[in-house]
Structure formats: C-alpha cells, structure tokens
Structure 1
Amino acid sequence: MQITITGALGNIGSALTKNLVKAGHELIVVTSNNGRTTEIEELGAKAVVGSISDAMFLAEAFAGSDAVFAMTPPNLGGENVIANTTQAGEAFATAFKASGVKRVVMLSSIGADLPNGNGPIQGLHHIEKIYNNLEGVVFTFLRAGYFYTNLYNDIPVINGMNAIGANYPAETIVPFVHPNDIATAVAEELELVPEGNKIRYVISDVRSAADVAKVLGAAIGKPALPWVEFTDEQSLQGMIQAGVPAEIANLYTEMGIGIRSGKIQSDFIRQGSPVIGQIKLEEFAKEFSTKF
C-alpha cells in the first residue's frame, strides 16, 4: 500500500513510520520542517515538505495513496487555537476530496464527543463532524487518552514543590496512552477498511491521579511524592508563569475541569472502558525517570 502520514517524526510519527516501512508499505511523510527530510528518508520513507493548513499541498501529498493518517498538532498557532485547528481540519477535508483518497485514520481524543467544556479537544470535535459529512471516504476516529508524555511538563513542579498535581483531585480516574500504542493502533487501522466510519478508543492504562504520583515518585526516588489538587486559578496562573500563552493555559485549565467532572471520560466509560494498549503506567515511569 501507499500510505501518507502527517505528524512528521514526532512521538507518534517516528514509531509509526518504522512500523509501516517494516511492514513493506510505500510511505510518504508530511513535514513542515525541511531539516527533517534526511531523517525521514533514512527510515525508508519519502518526505514532502509543506503546511498542513495548505489544502493544495495536502492534496498533492495524498494523491495516489491508498490510505492517510491525519493528525493536527495541538495548540496550533498559539492563538485562536480552536479556529486554527478546525481550519486545518477543513484543509484536510478539501484535500481528501481533491486527491480521491478513500481511507483515512484520524487522531482524535477522549472528550471529542463534546462540543464544549473540553479545552483544546473542542477543535477535534469540530474536525470529526467535518469528516463525518464527507462522502466516499471511510474514517476511523482514533480517540486517544491523555498522553503519558504530557507528564513531562510536571517535572519543573516536582523539582520546585516536591509535588505533582493538576486542577482535579487525587481520586480522579484518567485514561492514559503511550504514543507507541497509538502508532500500533494507527498501523492496524490503516490496513483495514471498515464498512463505515467508526470510533476506536486507544488507551494504555486507566489510573487514578494518586497512582500517577505514587508510581512516578517511586521511579524518581521520591516515594512520598504527593498529588496536589490545585484550584482552577492556581492551575491557570501556574501555566502562565511558566510561559504558556494565556489562551492555551485557559484551554488546558478548562480540560482539567472536564476531567474533574468526569465529562471528558464519560463516553469512553459508556463504551465499556476498552484498554487496547500494552504500555502501563509502571513501564512509562521508567522512561519518565530518564528525563527527570
């Protein structure tokens, strides 16, 4: 198969590229960074350079492919994030129609069923709706859990406060995912053609926030590391003081509220809380310790 993937060689793209090349597929990797072309080609894939907001460029990148992996980056643009993300989805949709591609796997998220109250995930909700209205293309919406790798952002807090936390309590249950498990699920879906559009949750582990503090703390030599529930204002101001743009900080604070209320996890739970990933929190903690 000829497959085009977006997302370059990020946390998901690197593992996905290796998996697909190893499986014998002809792979085209979309990147916005001309400096990464050599790295992509060394993995056995073809690199094409351009913007994912450019529908004409995307159509050329998708032309002739049997399947496409569609991924819009988080926090697209830093400002007007939801609008920018949605516009990128519209560019993808235009490119799908123009290129004639028939099979697409989209990286979405838990909480994408919600029209609001889900922070940056709202953009993915809009994109799912756009894609669902396209005729002649079969989609899998891969709704991923909270990335383990986002926990790296807590390292400064751990170092400064000897604590880890967010604006939800220790007993909150969070579905987590490892990028490698996403890459595995994407590869599986790209090789399948379901009869119609479908939603698939990709989750590696379901754990409490207290478990996160306990397991990560043990891995970094801080077995008593506590989980601290910050107020929404503390969470917001902490991110802003750390240099996060105010709009993005507000969106992530809103996402924390959605996790705290349980609404972001609710559809995943209604679907039976399926866990298909293999990389559990304890295994990720070993990776975390190497970054600490």
Structure 2
Amino acid sequence: MKITISGSLGNIGKPLTTKLIASGHEVTVITSNTDRVEAIEALGAKAAVGSVSDLSFLKSAFTAADSVFAMTPPNLGGSNIIANTTAAGQALVTAISEAGVKRVVMLSSIGADLPTGTGPIAGLYNIEKIYEGLENVSLTFLRAGFFYTNLYNDVPMIKGAGIIGSNYGATTVIPFVHPVDIANAVAEELQKTLSGKNIRYIVSDVKTPGDVAKTLGLAIDKPQLPWIEFTDEQALGGMKEAGLPIEMAELYAEMGSGLRSGKIQEHFLSNQFPVDGKIKLEDFAKEFAAQF
C-alpha cells in the first residue's frame, strides 16, 4: 500500500513511519525541513519537502497514495492561530480531494466536538467540519487525549518553584495519551477497510492532575511535589512571562478552563469509549525522569 503521512519525523511520525515500513508499505513522509530528508530515507521512506499550506505541493505528495495520515501543524504563527490552522486544514482537504485519495486518517483531539471554549482545539473542530464535506473518502477522525509530552513544559516550574500546576484542579479527570500509542492507532486505521465518516478516540490512561504530580514526583525523587491550581489570570500571566505570544497564551488558558469545567473531555468520558493505549502514566513517568 502507498501511504503518505504528514508530521515529518516527530513524536508521532517517526514511530508511525517505522511501523508502516516494517509492515511492507511504501511510505512518503511530508516534511518542511530539508535536514530531515536523510533521516526519513534512512528509515526506508521517501521524503516530500514542502509546506502543508501549499496546495500544489500537497496534491503532488498525495497523488497515487492509497491512504493519507493528515496532521495539521499546531501554533501556525503567534496571531490568527485558529484561522491559520483552519486554512492549513482546508489545504489538506482540497489536496486530498483533487488527488483522489480514498482513505484518510485525520489527527484530531478530545473536545473537537465543540465549536468554542476549547482554546486551540477549536481549529480542529473547524477542520473536522471541512473534512465532513469530502465525498467518496473513507475517513477516520482520530481524537487524541491530552499528550503526556505536554508535561515536559512544566519542567522549569518544577525545577524553579518546586510545584506543578495549571488553571484546573488536582481532581480534574483527564484522558491522557502517549504519541507512540497515537502512532500505533494511526497505523491500524490506515490499513482498515472502512466506509463513511468514523470517530475513534485514542487514550492511554485516564488520570487526575493529582495523580500526575504524585507519579512524576516519585519518578524524579520529589515525592511531595504538589499540584497547584492557578486562576485563569495567574496561568495567563505565567505563560506571558515565559515568552508565549499573547494570543497563544490566551488560547491555552481557555483550554485549561475547558478542562476545568469538564466540557472538553465530556464526550469521551460520558460515552465510555475504550482506553486502548498501552503506555500508562507510570510508564511515561520513567521517560519524564530520564529527561528531567
């Protein structure tokens, strides 16, 4: 099978490429970085160098592909983030349609069922709606949980202040996911024969921030590491001080508020979708400690 994937060789793309190549597929990896070409080819894949916002490039990369993994890059600029993300998603959809691709897996997120109040996830809601307009395409929206790897952003806080936290509380129930579990789910979906539009959630573990603080704390020899709930204003101010562009900081603060209210994770939790990822919080804690 000829498969084209976006996302270069990131936390999802590299294990996904490795798995697909091992299964005997012909894989093309889209990357915007020429420095990645050698690494892509070393895995046995072909590299397609260009921008996911470039329609003609995407159409060329998708031509003759039996299946496509479409991942819209996050944080497209420090302003107009939702609009830029949505536009990149539109370019992917148009290229998929014009290239005649028949099987697509789109990386989405918990909370993508909601149009507003979810921070950057709102862009994925818009993109899902665009993908729904595709005709004669077998489509899976792969809605991922909160990435474990986002917790690496808290290392400076842990080292500098001896705490970990955000603008949601220690008892908030959050579906987490490991990028490798996402890669495995994408590989499974790309090779399935399905029809119509489908939704699959990929979640590795369901835990609270209190669980996160305890588990990571034990792994890094800080067993008393506390989870601190900040106000929205405190969270926003902290992100601005850390150098995040104002619009991006506001979106992340809004996402934290959405997690605090429970609405972002409500559809997943209330419908009892399976937790079928293999890498649990305790497993990730070992990776976290090694990087800490």
TM-score class, shorter: over 0.9
Q: CA deviation at 1:271?
A: 2.1
Please give the alpha-carbon distance, in whole angstroms, between the structure 2 residues aligned to 1:243 and 1:130: 33
Contact persistence 2:144–2:182 (CA under 8 A): yes
Please give the alpha-carbon distance, in whole angstroms, between the structure 2 residues aligned to 1:201 and 1:42: 31
Q: Which amino acid aligns with 2:280?
A: K
| 1:204-223 matched pairs, under 5 angstroms | 204-223=204-223
Deviations 1:130-183 (A, max 9, x none): 000111111100000000000000000001111100001100011000000000
The reply on whether 1:63 has 2:63 as its aligned counterpart is yes
Please give the alpha-carbon distance, in whole angstroms, between the structure 2 residues aligned to 1:77 and 1:20: 31
Q: 1:52: which partner in 2? A: 52
Q: CA deviation at 1:195?
A: 2.1
Q: CA deviation at 1:44?
A: 0.2
Give aligned pairs, total.
292
The reply on whether 1:29 has 2:57 as its aligned counterpart is no
Q: 1:89: which partner in 2? A: 89
SS for the counterpart of 1:200 is strand
Q: CA deviation at 1:274?
A: 1.8
Contact persistence 2:31–2:49 (CA under 8 A): yes
Contact persistence 2:115–2:126 (CA under 8 A): yes
Q: 1:42: which partner in 2? A: 42
Q: Which amino acid aligns with 2:142?
A: L
Please give the alpha-carbon distance, in whole angstroms, between the structure 2 residues aligned to 1:42 and 1:230: 45
Please give the alpha-carbon distance, in whole angstroms, between the structure 2 residues aligned to 1:199 and 1:191: 16
Contact persistence 2:137–2:195 (CA under 8 A): no
Q: TM-score, length-normalised on structure 1?
A: 0.99
Q: CA deviation at 1:55?
A: 1.0
Q: 1:270: which partner in 2? A: 270
Please give the alpha-carbon distance, in whole angstroms, between the structure 2 residues aligned to 1:70 and 1:270: 27
Q: Which runs of 5+ in 1 are unaligned?
A: none
Contact persistence 2:144–2:201 (CA under 8 A): yes
SS for the counterpart of 2:279 is coil
Please give the alpha-carbon distance, in whole angstroms, between the structure 1 residues aligned to 2:171 and 2:212: 10
Q: 1:8: which partner in 2? A: 8
Q: 1:153: which partner in 2? A: 153
Please give the alpha-carbon distance, in whole angstroms, between the structure 2 residues aligned to 1:198 and 1:166: 33
Please give the alpha-carbon distance, in whole angstroms, between the structure 1 residues aligned to 2:256 and 2:221: 27
Q: 1:75: which partner in 2? A: 75
* Runs of 4+ more than 2 Å apart: none
SS for the counterpart of 1:240 is helix
Q: CA deviation at 1:230?
A: 0.5
Q: 1:197: which partner in 2? A: 197
Identity of aligned residues (%): 64
Please give the alpha-carbon distance, in whole angstroms, between the structure 2 residues aligned to 1:139 and 1:79: 30
SS for the counterpart of 2:120 is helix
SS for the counterpart of 1:136 is coil
Q: Which amino acid aligns with 1:280?
A: K
SS for the counterpart of 2:175 is strand
Q: Which amino acid aligns with 1:152?
A: Y
Q: Which amino acid aligns with 1:210?
A: G
The reply on whether 1:185 has 2:185 as its aligned counterpart is yes
Please give the alpha-carbon distance, in whole angstroms, between the structure 2 residues aligned to 1:33 and 1:9: 10
Q: Which amino acid aligns with 1:232?
A: D
Q: Which amino acid aligns with 1:192?
A: K
Please give the alpha-carbon distance, in whole angstroms, between the structure 2 residues aligned to 1:74 and 1:238: 21
The reply on whether 1:234 has 2:231 as its aligned counterpart is no
Q: Which amino acid aligns with 1:165?
A: G
Q: Which amino acid aligns with 1:266?
A: E
Deviations 1:50-106 (A, max 9, x none): 000011110100000100000011111222110000000110111011101011000
- Of the structure 1 ranges 265-274 and 237-246, higher mean CA displacement relative to structure 2 is found in 265-274
| 1:131-170 matched pairs, under 5 angstroms | 131-170=131-170
| 1:107-146 matched pairs, under 5 angstroms | 107-146=107-146
Q: CA deviation at 1:273?
A: 3.8
Please give the alpha-carbon distance, in whole angstroms, between the structure 2 residues aligned to 1:245 and 1:164: 22
- Of the structure 1 ranges 219-228 and 272-281, higher mean CA displacement relative to structure 2 is found in 272-281
RMSD across aligned positions (CA): 0.6
Please give the alpha-carbon distance, in whole angstroms, between the structure 2 residues aligned to 1:193 and 1:113: 24
